[in-house]
């Protein structure tokens, strides 16, 4: 069974909770990521996902709004040595698609997505769009 550390992304996009939501969304779009980790003093304070941004847009509350207003505070986390099976179970039961990965000291070291886990489950070598 694969471990989370083998499949997680370590190229993290991080933002501050005081950043404007529109700027965070712009950065997510530029980096083509579905979630960003929200850090306060290098400590995980939350996670902001594309679903959160969509909810803000749907309510018309984007202009001047800060990340802190829409992020999930103190999200569930997983360790890099945990199994991908455990990560998938947490995501299914929690209803989310991204899971921050933290080390023993609680510092963020990666993020794992449902797509990362599917790549482990389905050994698909078919090129995209084929």
Domain ranges of the chain: 4-121
100 by Cβ neighbours in 10 Å (0-12 / 13-18 / 19+) ranks as buried
Helix 21-31 vs helix 50-59: angle between axes, to the nearest 10 degrees?
Answer: 140
Name the residue with tokens 């850090």. 39
Q: What angle do CA 36, 62, 48 make, to 5 degrees?
A: 15
Chain segment 28-39, per-residue pLDDT in tens: 999 999 999 999
CATH node for 4-121: 3.10.580.10
Task: Specify the 3-state DSSP secondary structure of 102.
Answer: strand
Whether the pLDDT of residue 1 is over 90: the answer is no
Q: What is the mean pLDDT of the chain?
A: 92
pTM listed for this prediction? 0.89
* pLDDT (0 to 100) of residue 75: 96
Q: What is the pLDDT of residues 68-86, one digit of tens each?
A: 999 999 999 999 999 999 9
């Amino acid at each position: 069974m694969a471990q989370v550390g083998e499949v997680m992304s370590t190229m993290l996009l991080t933002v501050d909770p005081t950043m404007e939501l529109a700027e965070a969304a712009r950065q997510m779009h530029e980096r083509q990521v579905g979630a960003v980790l929200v850090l306060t003093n290098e400590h995980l304070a939350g996670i902001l996902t594309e679903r959160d941004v969509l909810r803000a847009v749907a309510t018309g509350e984007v202009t001047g709004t800060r990340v802190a207003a829409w992020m999930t505070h103190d999200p569930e986390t997983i360790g890099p040595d945990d199994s991908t099976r455990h990560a998938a179970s947490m995501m299914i039961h929690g209803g989310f698609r991204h899971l921050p990965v933290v080390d023993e000291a609680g510092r963020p070291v990666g993020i794992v997505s449902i797509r990362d886990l599917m790549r482990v489950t389905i050994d698909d070598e078919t090129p995209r769009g084929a």
